[in-house]
Amino acid sequence: MYYALYVSITLLNCNQIWAIISSMSKHVVIIGGGFGGLSCAALLAKDGFKVTLIEKLDSLGGRARPWKVDGFTFDLGPSWYLMPEVFEHFFSLFDKKREDYYKLSQLDPYYKVFFSEKESALLTADEEKNAALFETFEKGGADKFKEYIEQSTYKYDVAMNDFLYKDYQHLSQFFNKRVMTEGLKIGVFKKLDKFVSSYVKDRRAKQILEYAMVFLGTHPEKAPAIYSIMSHVDLKLGVFFPEGGMAGAANGFATLCKELNVNLVTGQEVTHIETKEGTATHVHTNKKSYKADIVISAADYHHTESMLLDEKDRMYSSKYWEKRVVAPSMFIVYLGINRELKNLEHHNLYFTENWSEHFTTIFDTPSWPENPNFYLSCISKTDKTSAPEGAENVFLLVPTAPGLADDDQAREKYLEHVLNHVKKITGEDLTKDVLVKRVYSQRDFIEDYHAFKGTALGLSHTLMQTAIFRPTNESKKVKNLYYTGQYTHPGVGVPMVLIASEILAEKIQDVYG
């Protein structure tokens, strides 16, 4: 018996050793140095693969890279740190702790909402205060708010356990008994706006519970009701801020990659993925060629398919892409203001009384919104190092339709309009005491990230672009070509991108490890 046990253990160890040796002989080339590329690179390096990551820009982080100028440090892209347990889980896969790479603080208040120039409200870490706020909106609102958050928490737990970390390749994997049973319970097949309306009627209450859809790239009236989980995400789990901003968090992921001996290449743009008999063999850049056993694109999916691959190697036609519901682009203004902005918190949101008009200009009749909803962050309220003493670091964002004309004249005209709009709503004049000003919009997303139609987020989260209906993470034409990032399941947002990389790394380990 002891001899048989010894042989079994020896064989197990031999198999593990052989798996490591096999993976170490495989060279993985990853395109794109944002959270998707960095997280996937770290996971595969941990599994023993030799990994080279190639980033077009001169710095890592992708959309989450910093811009430093005249004493200010701006986060160029994502600014909300949500779902902290996803980040903690990711680092635990390496027997590491997130705090080994960057510190984290919880915000309180979470954010301020402006409903008009005369009305605003704070959402905080105190659930009772939030419930009391909903009571001011409508009679019985406090109880309805608590009921809504309770169902949101239930949905979130189901989604995390049964949906988000699953790899969907076939319809049968999605439309199975478990998914259909729980899916009906958590509202996969219902619309969010109608679902929210079954709890609250006041437009202010509804907007607080639905606003996150903008950052998932979809209209609340078209989003699946499962996304009510976002109310649990921000109001129950909390809103956080990493040391150094989101760029600081991305730098933590880059540090992890360096510890795992990932070859991080910056300042090289991938120009072509060479294939032979249905297998990717080389990744060519504007400076060098890299031999590859496995290729992963964490870059814009449409760009990879339409520009980096020969036509015979593409899965999706131009007709396919034109039929997709593309998530919004963004009109972003980075401002360094040489005074304190007393009316603002770290995160600030404005919702127009009829916000559907804004959504119409994004999804139905593309145009620059006249009375736009907007998001405004002032991270210097939390991070004093992000601005010179006495100054404020401001990030102003208006969601816009992708594909709009974005010439200098259009920018200046809309910038003036938006800044006047912000002054009217918040009482803060952002045209005065300006030390730094930069506009970033459609053409910048295209130039820096090859973003499809200038989208900031990829594909919208409609029902028919959820789970199995999102672009696949595995090429059906090139057997060793894979994808990760916001286009694939589970979708938009940094936590979702980390989950996508974990799903993909497990798949690659199963095939090659």
Domain with 391 in it: what CATH number? 3.90.660
Q: Is residue 347 part of a domain?
A: yes
CA dihedral 151, 156, 162, 165 (to 10 degrees): 170
359 and 218 within one domain: yes
CATH of the domain at 58: 3.50.50.60
What is the rounded CA–CA span in Å between residue 139 and residue 200? Answer: 10
List, in order, residues 6 or more apart from 161 with CB less than 8 Å away. Answer: none
Name the strands in the sheet holding 50-54, side by side, starting at the edge strand that comes first in the sequence: 263-265, 50-54, 27-31, 294-297, 481-483
410 and 478 within one domain: no
**Residue 121 forms beta bridges with which residues?**
113
88 and 25 within one domain: yes
Q: Which of 421, 449, 477 is the last residue of a domain?
A: 449
Q: Is residue 488 part of a domain?
A: yes
Which pLDDT score, from 0 to 100, does residue 218 have? 86
- Greatest extent of the chain over all pairs of C-alpha atoms, in Å: 83
Cα–Cα nearest to 215, from 510, 495, 506: 495
> What burial letters (b/e) apply to 48-63, b meaning 16+ CB within 10 Å?
bbbbbbbbbbebbbbb
237 and 158 within one domain: yes
217 and 304 within one domain: no
411 and 301 within one domain: no
77 and 223 within one domain: no
Q: Is residue 396 part of a domain?
A: yes
What is the rounded CA–CA span in Å between residue 327 and residue 218? Answer: 6
List, in order, residues 6 or more apart from 100 with CB less than 8 Å away. Answer: 91
Which pLDDT score, from 0 to 100, does residue 467 have? 82
Give the tokens for residue 66. 């910093």
Q: Which of 397, 418, 449 is the last residue of a domain?
A: 449
334 and 222 within one domain: yes
Q: Is residue 455 part of a domain?
A: no
Which pLDDT score, from 0 to 100, does residue 222 have? 85
| Burial degree of 246 (CB within 10 A; 0-12, 13-18, 19+) | buried
Which pLDDT score, from 0 to 100, does residue 462 have? 86
Structural domain for 477, as ranges: 2-99+247-324+460-512
Q: Is residue 258 part of a domain?
A: yes
Q: Is residue 419 part of a domain?
A: yes
Q: Which of 449, 471, 488 is the last residue of a domain?
A: 449
Which pLDDT score, from 0 to 100, does residue 163 have? 82
297 and 359 within one domain: no
Number of domains within the chain: 2
411 and 288 within one domain: no
Which pLDDT score, from 0 to 100, does residue 5 have? 44
201 and 134 within one domain: yes
pLDDT string in tens for the chain (513-residue length): 444 444 444 555 555 555 555 556 799 999 999 999 999 999 999 999 999 999 999 999 999 999 999 999 999 999 999 999 999 999 999 999 999 999 999 999 999 999 999 999 999 999 999 999 999 999 999 999 999 999 999 989 988 888 888 887 655 555 555 555 655 555 566 889 999 999 999 999 999 999 998 878 888 888 888 889 999 999 999 999 999 999 999 999 999 999 999 999 999 999 999 999 999 999 999 999 999 999 999 999 999 999 999 999 999 999 999 999 999 999 999 999 999 999 999 999 999 999 999 999 999 999 999 999 999 999 999 999 999 999 999 999 999 999 898 999 999 999 999 999 999 999 999 999 999 999 999 999 999 999 999 999 999 988 888 888 899 999 999 999 999 999 999 999 999 999 999 999 999 999 997
159 and 18 within one domain: no
Q: Is residue 135 part of a domain?
A: yes
- Cα angle 78, 81, 85 (rounded to 5 degrees) comes to 135
Q: Is residue 454 part of a domain?
A: no
Q: What is the pTM of this model?
A: 0.92
